Structure 1
Amino acid sequence: MSSDAEQELRSSDSLSRSSSPAPEARTNGHSEGSPSRQDTRSSRNLLDTSYAPKVLRKTSDCLVSQEPPSHCNESKVLVLYSGGTIGMVRDCEGGVLRPMPQVMENRLRTFPQLHDAEYSSTRFTDPNKPPLVLPCTGDPNRVVYTIYEYDPLLDSSNATMDDWVRIALDIRAYYEQFDGFVVLHGTDTMAYTASALSFMLENLGKSVIITGSQIPIFEPRSDGRENLLNSLIIAGNYVIPEVTLMFNNKLFRGNRTSKTSINELDAFSSPNLPPLATIGVKIKVNWKAVFQQNTMEKFRVHSKLNRNVGLLRLFPSITVEVVRAFLTPPVQGVVLQTYGAGNGPTARADLLDEIRRATLRGILIVNCSQCTQGSIDAAYATGNALCAAGVIPGSDMTPEAALTKLSYVLSKTEWSYATKKEMLQASLRGELTVAKPSKLDDLDLITAIARTMNISSPEELQSLQTVLYPSILCSVTAHGDVDRLEVMRQFGAYLSSCDYDFRTPLHVASSEGNTAMVRYLLQHGASVHMRDRDHHTPLMSAVLCDQHAVIELLVQAGAHLSLPALQLADELCTAARNGNVKRLESYKLAGASFYESDVTGRTCLHAACEAGQEAVVKFLLENKIWPETKDVYNHSPEEIARLLGHVKLLQLFKSIVPTTNGTTQDPHQ
């Protein structure tokens, strides 16, 4: 659990701030921690006093096995169960559907399509709390998942901004321990939560999927099972670094969605953006549509929102008194829902004057259409009049996205009024459409190959492009040709495309040690969390090639080690035993702890002393590694050096290890 997230729940201002590495991050995330995570924010720190403080209860744990998988790759997904129809069960008395605490996980264990009991019992040795495991789905990774449940469970109609803050902080707390996240949520306010989280989770590098259902998952006929299964598969196998919403075999960008049906299973729509992925016989991801960050900053949570926002819907003959009342303090931001392409009643000078006075007072007013499809267009005089009054065009944002974005932007106290207006018109998380200059449809090389192969249909051309682009991208990257890579990006190449071995251009550039190429890829949205066939991230590729400058760049961009504890300990011990100081330096830069121990309790210092590696021992001691740590045989590294007669090592211990009153002190404590 991230210590800074825990601290933020107890803080006096709930402000987002950068944090020191969590204890689990320093030990590669294998501390089980407490069985529950308390919400201890005082009432004065809450945005909404109606918020019910919650406890996040841990039942099973994905971290019970510290050993690497023996025969397949695994990915770990955290499911945050907040409530909603998806988890309801019928009570014993009247058969009424209601949320039942601490029932979800145990019941899921009885569903063979959602839990492989045989694999779980074989793979994970702790019988008291083995995680859930999806059966083999034919995807690259076996998905291992665990459910953390909020207490009390929430009816989404009662959701508050503080619930959004709580979910965001919990994702941050476990961000480095899991490969992806699924949030189970009620459908009534799901689009609001998805939109809010998309803004609060800044520089997101992993999949966060929100889902629920129209029919409870435990009913004989339910859409919940498919929604949960699809969410888990995508969160565990596809790095789609956005907050998305999964419903009825479609994965939408979260801040583009609205709930459009009460009774239909196809309850959500994304009117102005096609789905990012569709689930049929195969899962098809539209990678070109996936939002790409243009920054190298680490993931962080902005946990302060501004509650003084509202939605004002125009209607014929609306009175100026209603508008004036709506624009009075403490209101600081308004989403104005207008007619058609953003039009208002130009004949109502009283309304326009009231709106103009409000914008002059510093109130931010965003113009969004009452229509579900289409974009704001100031070409009409009625729309241009609102722009002249200081209203900000909201493009094709949904009301949910516009409201939560306004709350997020207003809470950015470091931004000026002009910057806030600019940010409201910019696409921060893909929430609105920005006009782009038209480009050629296909790269000349792809077209030439298609003609040679007598390929003419769009489907065949797209298939050829999908096959060739990754290999060409990796080849161009290996040659260090940034200019040519930029040309390919301009033609629509997805820079996190993976080849046959699931290696991306960032894997290649990291292995080659090409810092300029790595920086370019990171600045254009390349993912630091993609894994190749060996389950290596770009960071691991850089570590194994001892590319120190690249390691620093990747860590700066939010990369972190995700090796199981025992595997990391073995790697460190092997490097120490072989006298490979450079490799140990690589692991150190990547964030590894030299205190990781193998199955015998030995650290890399034990291994170095056993092999008589003087340079390694010197390096580790200079990095404040305590020589008195005992293994399972009750031997310390210093005792091993003494038993084996390594005189020079003993001299190093005396000359480097700090002492007080003749007693060796543990610098780690």
Structure 2
Amino acid sequence: MAVFQNDVTRSIQMNVRKSKLHSTSESTILVVYTGGTIGMVKSESGYIPESNIFQNSLRSNIRFHDAEEHHRRLSHPGYSKDFFITPLSFYNKRIIYKILQMVPLLDSSCMSVRNWIQIAEVIEENYKLYDGFVILHGTDTMPYTASILSFILEDLGKPVIITGSQIPFSEIRNDAVDNLLGAITIAGHFAIPEVGLYFNNRLYRGNRTCKYDNSSFEPFKSPNMRCLIKAGINFKVNWNLIRMPHKGGKFRVHKDLDSNISVVSFSPIMTEESLLASINPHTKAIIIQTYGAGNIPDNRPELLDALKRANERGIVIVNITQCKKGGVSDSYHCGQILGRAGVISGRDMTFEAALCKLSYLLGKYPGEPEKVKSEVSKDLRGEMTIDPEEIDFSLTMKEIIKTIGNVLGIYTQQDRDDVTEEILPIIINTAAAQDNIRELTQIRHEGISLELCDYEGKTPLHVACSTGKKEIVSFLVRQEVNINSIDSQGRTPLMEAINHGHFEIARELIKFGGIISCPNEQLAPMLCYAGMRGDLNKVKILYKSGVNINVIDYDKKTVGHLAAANNHLDVIRYLKNKTDYKFDAKDNNGMTPAEIAEYKGFLEISNCIKNTDQ
């Protein structure tokens, strides 16, 4: 059991159960103070954590505590002098909260597995007493704590929000006041059953965050996912992103974590010896941080062999990118060979999420590496993005309408309109994905736009193009929708059609003026990968759509370099006879496509490039 000052006694617990603190006009929050900058004060040796710093400060601040209401309630059964109570909020609601303090208070750089379990146990012990929880924490390891809590708090049904500050609460100018007040307000008003990280007016999914700046009021980013809530004059909640607990699931805390995890970050100076040094007899899992979209050098077989041997020993190996934004994929040969070696794709997980997820799974399934491999590739707590092609669109109109009916127990017409605005794109895009022209026709007759976009900026045309629904595409084009709308990743419907191999749809879009607007860094991998695979149809359609055929990837390779290196003569002939491709282009090694072909012994390709008659 965790050690905390002012811990809740059994008598107070019984009184809280009997009181009416859980009414709709009030909510109860437990604030757990673990340490960190938010509670520090100046000393001769610099800033240090201070005990009980919030007690007097908050009681004298009207935004955090209504002293008059507090004194009036002291005679009420179940209300304790240790409680704080906020004034009535914009939503005509009060929040009653209590502060528990960890002993000793910690700088977050001192956080350990034991401390994570202590925090989780406090939530477990008080889970039925409070409507939500706020964890005050230092910023250095905040994303780690947010990630691990998201996994070990299984079937969580209440908000757990972690926050802190860059400047202590005790300083006149600080970010602590807004962060603490915002976290308490959100936890007390919104039923968001997730572990979130709140900072600088934004609530992020905790396991999607990373710290990227130690000198601003916005130290955290969620590089691969939008925030759950943005606080302004009102709180804008992206309800479509919120994950609901499993139906019938019972909250529990998983306390067995495994720390036998190694981390390997690839670099040009890596040696086989340095890789092997990370694979000791106790190692159960390895996180490899690879280049770009998940690549390792394919001219270093000794490194791949070392990973293969580790996999054969039952070590779980997860591949994540060194980049802050984006994830790993198998677009390049280098990435594909890792999959064949038994390496699991970490998709777009942050390093913090990958580490904590492995620790959780290894502890939950000891001695079962195959089970861990299976589970680590799944999206367990919203920590990774699953490719749309792997998702079955199962929502029906009837189910969505039922969901709307359940949600419309909220209070104002504006709230109802906001929820409808969020759900309508789901209805329309689901109809497009399910090839349901009848539903789309009905929606159009009801005067609803067929250009509404979801949280990723995707319209029904984007969805139809990515899922290969030709009839839906033709229907939408006839409705004169914008065929060049751009989603949040900068992709047009034409880009979606080509990327997913639906070339007949792509040709129709081109005929009606469809374009590609993606930057070269997105187009280069697609074009080069088509050259490597010998996918002549994709090369042709990309060229016809206006893509620069000479675009280069990260190591200055072009479609011609990849086609020549993989002996795809038909692609080379097309480039030579039908395009303005420049065969004198040199990659990072100073080699042209012809020189690569000669080096690999593909003389027919080399001769084709050099012979002006072919």
Q: What TM-score bracket applies, with the shorter chain setting the length?
A: 0.5 to 0.7
Deviation at 1:441, TM superposition (A): 12
Match of 1:118 in 2: 68
Structure 2 gaps, min length 5: 402-413, 428-438, 444-451, 456-614
Superimposed CA distance per residue, residues 161-191 of structure 1 (whole angstroms, 9 cap, x where no aligned partner): 1111111111000000000000000000000
Match of 1:391 in 2: 343
1:255 counterpart = 2:210: no
Is the Cα contact below 8 Å between 2:365 and 2:372 reproduced in 1? no
The counterpart of 1:410, out of the listed 355, 362, 371, is: 362
Superimposed CA distance per residue, residues 201-226 of structure 1 (whole angstroms, 9 cap, x where no aligned partner): 00000000010000111211111111
Deviation at 1:292, TM superposition (A): 2.6
1:279 counterpart = 2:228: no
- Cα gap change, 1:493 to 1:231, in 2 (>3 Å): same
Whole-angstrom distance in 2 between the partners of 1:414 and 1:320: 29
Match of 2:155 in 1: 203
SS at match of 1:205: coil
The counterpart of 1:325, out of the listed 248, 271, 277, is: 277
Match of 1:103 in 2: 53
Whole-angstrom distance in 2 between the partners of 1:420 and 1:359: 13
Superimposed CA distance per residue, residues 284-332 of structure 1 (whole angstroms, 9 cap, x where no aligned partner): 1111101133342200000010010132111112011110010112111
Is the Cα contact below 8 Å between 1:276 and 1:285 reproduced in 2? yes
Corresponding letter in the other structure for 2:56: N
1:79 counterpart = 2:31: yes
Equivalenced residues, count: 411
Deviation at 1:64, TM superposition (A): 6.2
Deviation at 1:107, TM superposition (A): 2.0
SS at match of 1:152: strand
SS at match of 2:6: strand
Is the Cα contact below 8 Å between 1:365 and 1:391 reproduced in 2? yes
- Cα gap change, 1:128 to 1:299, in 2 (>3 Å): closer
Is the Cα contact below 8 Å between 2:22 and 2:131 reproduced in 1? no
Question: Comparing both chains, which one has the higher relative contact order based on Cα–Cα distances under 8 Å and sequence gaps of 6 or more?
Answer: 1
Is the Cα contact below 8 Å between 1:62 and 1:146 reproduced in 2? no
Whole-angstrom distance in 2 between the partners of 1:264 and 1:251: 17
The counterpart of 1:465, out of the listed 420, 433, 437, is: 420
Is the Cα contact below 8 Å between 1:341 and 1:375 reproduced in 2? yes
Equivalences for 1:137-156 in 2 at 5 Å? 137-156=89-108
1:270 counterpart = 2:215: no
SS at match of 2:379: coil
Is the Cα contact below 8 Å between 2:155 and 2:246 reproduced in 1? no
Corresponding letter in the other structure for 1:190: M
Is the Cα contact below 8 Å between 1:77 and 1:236 reproduced in 2? yes
Whole-angstrom distance in 1 between the partners of 2:15 and 2:392: 51
Superimposed CA distance per residue, residues 96-137 of structure 1 (whole angstroms, 9 cap, x where no aligned partner): 432111232222212221111111111222898241112222
Q: Percent identity?
A: 41
The counterpart of 1:346, out of the listed 295, 298, 312, is: 298
- Cα gap change, 1:442 to 1:261, in 2 (>3 Å): farther
Match of 1:132 in 2: 84
SS at match of 1:334: strand
Match of 1:179 in 2: 131
Whole-angstrom distance in 1 between the partners of 2:415 and 2:157: 32
Deviation at 1:196, TM superposition (A): 0.4
Whole-angstrom distance in 2 between the partners of 1:186 and 1:147: 16
1:58 counterpart = 2:10: no
Whole-angstrom distance in 1 between the partners of 2:323 and 2:377: 19
Corresponding letter in the other structure for 1:324: L
Whole-angstrom distance in 2 between the partners of 1:95 and 1:267: 25
Deviation at 1:461, TM superposition (A): 12
The counterpart of 2:174, out of the listed 217, 222, 225, is: 222
SS at match of 1:187: coil
Corresponding letter in the other structure for 2:74: F
- Cα gap change, 1:295 to 1:357, in 2 (>3 Å): farther
Equivalences for 1:518-529 in 2 at 5 Å? none
SS at match of 1:209: strand
- Cα gap change, 1:440 to 1:281, in 2 (>3 Å): farther
Corresponding letter in the other structure for 1:58: D
SS at match of 1:411: helix
Whole-angstrom distance in 1 between the partners of 2:265 and 2:392: 35
Match of 2:528 in 1: none
Is the Cα contact below 8 Å between 1:181 and 1:208 reproduced in 2? yes
Is the Cα contact below 8 Å between 1:64 and 1:125 reproduced in 2? no
- Cα gap change, 1:323 to 1:203, in 2 (>3 Å): same
Whole-angstrom distance in 1 between the partners of 2:30 and 2:123: 9
Is the Cα contact below 8 Å between 1:121 and 1:130 reproduced in 2? no
Corresponding letter in the other structure for 2:385: T
Superimposed CA distance per residue, residues 312-353 of structure 1 (whole angstroms, 9 cap, x where no aligned partner): 111112011110010112111111100000000111111000
Is the Cα contact below 8 Å between 2:63 and 2:87 reproduced in 1? yes
Whole-angstrom distance in 2 between the partners of 1:122 and 1:85: 34
Whole-angstrom distance in 2 between the partners of 1:71 and 1:176: 14
Deviation at 1:140, TM superposition (A): 4.8
Match of 1:519 in 2: none
Whole-angstrom distance in 2 between the partners of 1:211 and 1:192: 13
Match of 1:379 in 2: 331
Structure 1 gaps, min length 5: 1-8, 10-38, 40-53, 447-458, 473-483, 495-669
**How large is the Cα RMSD of the aligned pairs?**
3.3
Superimposed CA distance per residue, residues 350-393 of structure 1 (whole angstroms, 9 cap, x where no aligned partner): 10001110011011110000011112111200111111111100
SS at match of 1:82: strand
Deviation at 1:68, TM superposition (A): 3.3
Whole-angstrom distance in 2 between the partners of 1:388 and 1:468: 40
- Cα gap change, 1:395 to 1:70, in 2 (>3 Å): closer
Superimposed CA distance per residue, residues 477-500 of structure 1 (whole angstroms, 9 cap, x where no aligned partner): xxxxxxx9xxx9xx9999xxxxxx
Match of 1:368 in 2: 320
Q: Which has the larger displacement, 191-200 or 70-79?
A: 70-79
Whole-angstrom distance in 1 between the partners of 2:394 and 2:359: 38
TM, length-normalised to structure 1: 0.57
SS at match of 2:95: strand
Whole-angstrom distance in 2 between the partners of 1:343 and 1:56: 49
Equivalences for 1:478-497 in 2 at 5 Å? none
- Cα gap change, 1:346 to 1:210, in 2 (>3 Å): same
Is the Cα contact below 8 Å between 2:240 and 2:423 reproduced in 1? no
Whole-angstrom distance in 1 between the partners of 2:40 and 2:308: 48
SS at match of 1:328: coil
After superposing on structure 2, the runs of 4+ consecutive aligned residues of structure 1 that deviate more than 6 Å are 59-65, 69-72, 438-446, 459-462, 491-494
Whole-angstrom distance in 1 between the partners of 2:192 and 2:22: 27
Match of 1:68 in 2: 20
Deviation at 1:95, TM superposition (A): 9.1
Is the Cα contact below 8 Å between 1:223 and 1:265 reproduced in 2? yes
Deviation at 1:59, TM superposition (A): 8.0
- Cα gap change, 1:463 to 1:412, in 2 (>3 Å): closer
Whole-angstrom distance in 1 between the partners of 2:353 and 2:422: 36
Whole-angstrom distance in 1 between the partners of 2:394 and 2:249: 32
Whole-angstrom distance in 2 between the partners of 1:145 and 1:424: 36
Corresponding letter in the other structure for 1:220: I
SS at match of 1:58: coil
- Cα gap change, 1:368 to 1:493, in 2 (>3 Å): closer
Is the Cα contact below 8 Å between 1:124 and 1:130 reproduced in 2? no
